[in-house]
Amino acid sequence: MHRDELKALFDHQAAGYDMQWARMAPVRENLHFLLGAVLADLPAEARILCVGAGTGAELEFLAALHPRWSFTAVDPSSAMIARCRQRAESRGFAKRCRFHEGYVDSLPPDEPYDAATSLLVSQFILDEEARGGFFAAIAARLVPGGVIVCADLASEAEAHLYEPLLRTWLTVMSQAGVPSDAFERARAAYARDVAVLPPARVARIIESGGFGRAVQFFQAGLMHAWFARRT
């Protein structure tokens, strides 16, 4: 999906995003719980880069867990960044945050980060070389040995494996109260606008951006998550 299309999509979704996906909270909370474990060894005053921060759900979780960490939230959607800032202000951790409307490659030069998160972001980059470049841009912002945590939709390519998992995932969305029109849009989008690749292939793309072995630590339906260290 083109950058301008992504920005327009998430600008449109920002106002109702949290409410629409509220009943998917068990999946998100499980991912966040394990995210906390993956990043548990970071320094007490770690600097975290949140790429595609959206409305700031993972920032809120990590800020509550580590009161001395600081964050840079990056998102191309002005509406999402506004919601993220609003969340940080209302929860009392905005003073530990910087908010950047744009992409990683447009961030001003700064001290390197100890870790980065990229949750449900790279899946929208359909070209594999460009997707590897996305991870390379993140790696360039990290200290040596810095950690990336990435979550994306993924599945084995064979139809007899993908189709049952897709049906289960769409059923989860339906039971979570996602409107029927959004349900059908999701099915179409996964075929057209989302790079749902085999998990091992996603891991190799992460590694191609300058990271060591990408370790899968989470799966819930189509959603998979990995962590890796900058080489």
Dihedral angle sign, alpha carbons of residues 80, 83, 85, 87: negative
Which DSSP helix (H) or strand (E) runs through 227? strand 223-229
Provide long-range contacts, Cβ within 8 A and 24+ apart, for 167-175: 168/221, 169/221, 169/222, 169/223, 172/24, 172/27, 172/221, 173/24, 175/23
Least reliable range by pLDDT among 8-12, 133-137, 146-150, 205-209: 8-12
Helix%, strand%, coil% for the chain, nearest 5: 50, 25, 25
What is the structure's pLDDT at 11?
Answer: 42
What is the structure's pLDDT at 182?
Answer: 59
What is the structure's pLDDT at 163?
Answer: 86
pLDDT digits (tens, 9 = 90+) for 84-122: 999 999 999 999 999 999 999 999 999 999 999 999 999
Q: Is the pLDDT of residue 186 over 70?
A: no
Note the pTM of the prediction, 2 decimals: 0.88
Share the mean pLDDT of the chain.
Answer: 88
> How far apart are alpha carbons 116 and 51 in whole angstroms?
7
Domains contained in the chain, number: 1
What is the structure's pLDDT at 15?
Answer: 46
CATH of the domain at 49: 3.40.50.150
The CB density around residue 168, as the number of other CB atoms within 10 Å, is 12
pLDDT digits (tens, 9 = 90+) for 69-87: 999 999 999 899 999 999 9
What is the structure's pLDDT at 171?
Answer: 80
Mean of pLDDT values over 29-39 = 97
> How far apart are alpha carbons 62 and 65 in whole angstroms?
5
Mean of pLDDT values over 114-139 = 96
Coil, strand or helix: which one is 94?
helix
Domain encompassing residue 13: 3-229
What is the structure's pLDDT at 40?
Answer: 97
Residues whose CB is less than 8 angstroms from the CB of residue 181 and which lie 6 or more positions away in sequence, other chains included: none
